[in-house]
Every structure is written in C-alpha cells, then in structure tokens.
Structure 1
Amino acid sequence: MTGRLALAGGAPVWSGDWPGWPQLGPHTAERVAQVLNGERWAISGHWTGRPAIEVELAERFAEFVGARWCVPVDHGSSALITGLHALGIKPGDEVIVPGLTWVASASVVARTGAIPVLVDVDPDTLCIDPQAVEAAITPATVAVMAVHLYSAMADMDALRAIARRRSLALVEDAAQAYGSTWNGAGAGSLGDFGAFSAQQGKTLTAGEGGLLVTSDPGLRERAEMVRGDGRRYTLGPREVGRPELEELSLVQGWNMHISEVQSALLLDGLERLPEQNACRAAAAEVLDKALGAEGDLEPIKPYAANDRRAYYHYAIRLRPGAFAGRSAATVCRALSAELGFWVHTPYRPLNGHPLYDPRRLPGLADQDFAWKFDPARFELPVAHREAERTVLLHHPMLLGSPGHTQAVVDAFDKIRRLADQLPA
C-alpha cells in the first residue's frame, strides 16, 4: 500500500485483470453453431422432427427452480408483463411494488394499466417490507410483487400469509436470485409466478431473455398464449415443415418468444450456474467476515429462512461516521480507482428515479386516475437512507481467486486508513 489513494494519484491496490462476464463454457460455441447451422432459430419456425431447444430449456429450468412449468420469453420485463396479464391484472387495479428496485419491476405494472403502489423496504435485507405492504392495501389492491434484491430474498412467509389473508396474487421478481432458496424452495417457485431476467449482467444470461415459472396450470396456459400472439404449443401431432404452435382465439397476446440461440446459451449457462453460485457465496462469506471486523461496515442480514443465497451483487453498508463521514458514492469512486472495476451504489429509489414516471407511458396521462401514477406521492425514507450508505460489488468480482477477494479487503482497508484524502 502507498500513502496516497489512487483517486489522489497513488498506485492502486489491484492492477490485474478481473473475471470477465459473460463467460463461455467448453461447449458454448458448439451449441450455438448447431442452432446456426440448423433450420430452426425460434419456436415459431417449422418443426424439424426434433423438439425446440426452448422446450428443453423450459423443462430444465423449471426443475432447477422447483416449479412445474417454465415459459421462456424474450426479456425479463416480458416475463413479468406476461405473468401479470395471465393473472388478469387490468387498468385501475393496484399492485404493490418495493420502492427500491430496477424501474422495470414497477413500469411493467403500469404497462398493464394498473397502478404501481410503491412501498418501503426492510433495512436489513433491502427487500420489500411486509408491514409496509399491509399498510398499503386498499380495496383496489390485487397483487404484491416481491423483488429479491442484490443477495437476499424478501420475507416470503410473511408475504404469502398476507396474500392468502387478503386474497391477493403474489408475484416474485427473481431476476437477481437464480439459485436462492427459502426453506429449501427455489426463488420464483413461492408465488403465483416467478420472473427471471437473462440480461447481460445477470448470473444466467443470453444477452437478453426471460423465464417465467409457475405451478398453476391455468396461468401457464394463459402465459403461453400471451407471449405467443395467442398461440400455444401444439397439443396434437407435429408435422414436419409446419410450426408446432396452434392458433387459438382465447387470448390477445404479443410476440415475446425467445430465440433458439438464446435458449442454447441459457441451457449452457445453467449447467455452470451451481458451481459459479457456490464460488460467489464462498467469496461473500470471506468478505462478510473481513469487512465487518472493523465495525464500520455492515453486511446484509438475510432472513434465516433464506437458507441459500445467490449473489447478483455483494452489498455492504457504511455505518454512520465511517470513512471520515464520506458518502457511499465517494467511497465507491475510490474503490473503483483502487480495484480497476466499477463499484457503485444501489438503484435510486423509484420516487426519485429519473427513468421512472409511468405518466410518460402512452395514454396514461389521459386517465382520470393519472395522479395515482405519480411516483412522488410515495414516501420511501428507508429506501433512500439505505441506498445512500450501500456499496455494491457486481458478481463477477466474486468469481476470481482468493487474491481477488483479498484485494477487495485491502482496498477497503486503504481507503479507511486514508479517508481524509477522499473528496468532501
């Protein structure tokens, strides 16, 4: 270590490489090449005598999660909106959403015409607060969305009890929780449906893509039709040269099919996911112990029932007065300079996020109840407080060697020691 922070012109703690993301396996290129050299690039293509890759993906992923079925789609947002439409969410309904999450978790609700009702989060997990959910329920409430955030799951026992008692649907946005479990049950399998994103940065990725899981046969059938312009998998014999989708007149849908290339990439990544999750969890355990030792940093505190954690980000919070009282954003800039990898703060809470205002969606500003879409009408003090003191490390940083993990510890130690050099 030097006597100067990298931000102030000193030598950084780490100048080597970090694990890249996405990562390829030994058979990734071969699997993609088989699709490219075949005659079918999507489920809407003609039947070739062999099941589509997306069918195998759906079966394998449902088994991985512990749900009965999976419906692959083109994006994580598509998984959410498909499920919401399959539930029958309609204009004027209210859906309770945590105020600390990516904008799409709430904007998809508005895209159905329903009203996203933002509530605060639990300070220990950064996930939706069940007490805040209970307080926000009105006669118009039809569903609650639990978002499993960064490295923790929402309190599914409490949320399921509320949903049963108040006759509400329970949705899981599990985009960041591939492999997490709650009392042994997979994230995404505990609500009416679970939605996963396969966007570039996710721990299972095809660049873009999404996966909806459910154990409700009616919801699964409606979801298939919603994502397929009203079409679903043919139940009768397939014919070579014809699509294996049958056209029905039951549901108006959209084309949100996933491609066969995406499906091949996800199947390939799914085989490596458990080992990668174990690597991330081991690194996170080391960081929890080492970073918490000085008393100025506080790890996430998951619920006991969250018996297996999956790390989309590793989150650590600054206690009041830590690092000479500098902000988490300033500490993140210093860490980025020391490590050569982007370290950052959480999402901005949705009542102050520049990308989130459903009134900008076509037609919503003209509704009689347009004022209900105004995100500024919701108060989220815990979300703001916790976001302002939280530091996030993206999951590839947890896939390196013990030397990479030690570099993170050393960077925090250096910044702690030289905190007076941090910009005020």
Structure 2
Amino acid sequence: MAATAAGARRKPIYKQLYVQVLVAIVLGFLLGWLAPEIAESPWIKALGDGFIKLIKMVIAPIIFCTVTSGISHIDSARKVGRVGVKALVYFELVSTLALLIGLGMGNLVQPGVGFNGSADAGAVADYAARAEHQTTVEFFLHIIPDSVVGAFADGDILQVLLFSILFGFSLMVLGERGHTVRALIDDVGHAFFGVIAVVMKAAPVGAFGAMAYTIGRYGPEAIGNLAGLIATFYATAALFIVLVLGLIAWAAGFRIWQLIAYMRDELLIVLGTSSSESALPQLMEKLERLGCSKSVVGLVVPTGYSFNLDGTNIYLTLATLFIAQALGVQLSLYEQLAIIGVAMLTSKGASGVTGAGFVTLAATLAVVRPELVPGMAIVLGIDKFMSECRALTNIIGNAVATIVVSAWEGELDRDALRAGLTRRVDPSDVETAVTTG
C-alpha cells in the first residue's frame, strides 16, 4: 500500500533521479568539450571516482546480508543448490550466445579491415601485466579467501559470495537457535540499503565528474577516430538485447522495453560511471520490489556479476577480431572457436568495474594469439566509450536472468511484476522501499 501511495504521489520531474543524472551527463560532456583543461583536473576526476568508491564500500556487506538472509530463511538446502544450478546453466547458455553474436558480427561487418593500425606495446603494458592468465584450477582456488576479513576488505564478490552461502547454510541448520542472528542480519541489511539511498543522491555529481573527465581526457574526436568499431559494438549489443534478451523476456511473460524503462535510473548511473557495480545494490532492491524472491535475488544477482557478463563477452570476440583485422592477422575457424572457449574462462570474475573488460581482453589475446596483445593500443583510446555499453548490457542481462530464474522457481509475484513494469508504483522511490521493506 505504501508503494502504491508513493506511486500516486509522483515526484516532480526535476526530482526524478534519472532526469538529474541525464542533465549531469550532458553538462559533463559540455565541460569536457569546452574546457578540457578544467575537466582533466584531479578534482573533477575525483567526483566520479569518489561516487563509485562510495557504492563499492557497501557492496560486500550488502551481498553478505542479502545472500545470508535469503538462504537462512529457506527450509531446504536442496532449493539453494537447485537455484544455483539453474542460474549457472542459464548464464552459460546466454553467455555463449553473446560470444557467438559478437563473433558473427565481427566476421560480417569486419570493422578492422583497411584500418591502418600501428600498435604501441608500451601503451598496453600495464593492462597486459594485470592480465596474467589464470588456469582453471587457480581461478577456483581464488574463490576461497585467505581470510574472511580479507575477502570483505578486498571487495572480492566471489569470495564474499562463497562465505555468505556457507554462513547462510549454517544459520539454516541452526533453525530456531539462529533466529536472533537472522533478525540482526535482516536489520543490518535494511540499514545498508538506507546508506545506498543516501549515497544515490550524489549520483548526478558522480556522473558529471566521470563524463567531464572522460571527454576532457580523450576529447570528443576520439569517438570519431574509431567510429566503425564503436558503432558495430553498440549495434551488436542492441541486437543482443532486442533479440536474445527480448525473446527470453517474452517467453518469461514480460517485455524487455518495460524492464529497461523500469531500470532507467540504474542504467543512466551506469552510463555516467561506466561501472555496472555502481547500480548493483539498487538493482537488487528494485528486483525484489518487482516480485522476485529475496533468496533468488541474493543468489542470482551477485553470481551474475561474475558469471553473466553478456556485454563483456560480446566485446571480447568483437575486439579480438577487430585487432586481428587491423593488424592483418588471419584467424582460422579453429582459432575463432578457441576465442569462445578462452573467453568463457577469462570473462569469469571480471566485475563491472571500469576497465575490467580491457584487462580481460588482454588475457584472452595472450592465450589465443599472443602477438595480438600489442594491438590493444589501437582500441585503448576508445575503450572508455565502449565500457559504458559493456556495463549497460551486463546489468540488463543480469536483471533478465533474475526474473527468469525466479519464474522457473515459481517464486515470481506476477502482480508485483505487472505493477512495476506498467509503472503503477514509483520505481524510483528507493527510500519508501527501505523504510517499508
């Protein structure tokens, strides 16, 4: 009732978060274009970096509270395993489709053919150094933290997720004896979402700083230098969202455009910050309000941020083909298929932090064709403009995945879903959700 009443008292347009963020993005672009010397200052850059750090400081505890609470309130451990298996199967199938679509568009459009590319190995030395290839065994061992405190201090989502699952199972086994701890974790979780509600008021400032610095640093002409690759990537991501995610949404009983409209605040924040992590806590809250069960949201969303990166997967195959074409390197069918296999591993654990996709690209190239790694310098200057599309596609893909898995589990409130997507409630009123949740 409270949410419905909030929807009836619609906020004035100037108080809508998405309007404020959109205006901030435009102002940031203008500042970067007209006064780049000001836009490149450390203080302007600090506005965007500071906002992302404010969000990241509460991601680990929010994931812990949400996942632990969701599992501890489940009566059967079998259900947790069932939800996890369904989510992972969904992630792998959709991720494979994203990789195939990126590979297909790269071969069809061939944006790198005829490009007079010269690579500067020094420009990508930092990324290549950070992209040391992890074996499958090392990847799984990395999921286990050296200490619980270290997992939270480093903000490693997979490590925090593992501990949260184990802690949730322990509370489930305790039964009534764990009631006090469960209630405490629920209350702490609501408090952290309250922190997010406060931090989100600074979203326009963060978006302004991030956009101003990006345009001031690289200049608007950087977009035009490699417009073909950027246009191909954005078109491929749009095609994936409309066709693949659109068909999945239709099969699950909702429309992808309505979900995108429902998530407009989060999408504009991601657009301004180039990080899907900046909207993770708010996304989890709004998916619960959309009718997804708390346990499914707590398991699927954090896992999806490491295992369901559709935008990153499209970028990996498309950028690899572009670099090979620009450098005149012919990739055989076997090597192109190898890209898919390698990218399925290297993309895991690449969260929505700005630049993670570029680091993952270095890891992929180092495995498939090491001589292509210096070619990353060709796309280094425009990677910032592509990271926004990666993050947007990733967050939309994870939202669809959560709704689909909730529907598979029979834990999707269809009435709440229709009310949210048809805007009979105000999806931007996070404060109401925090105080009434």
TM-score, with structure 2 as normaliser = 0.25
Structure of greater relative contact order (alpha carbons < 8 Å, 6+ residues apart): 2
TM-score normalised by structure 1 residue count: 0.25
Q: Quick check: which one's strand share is greater?
A: 1
- Computing the radius of gyration from Cα coordinates, the structure with the larger value is 1
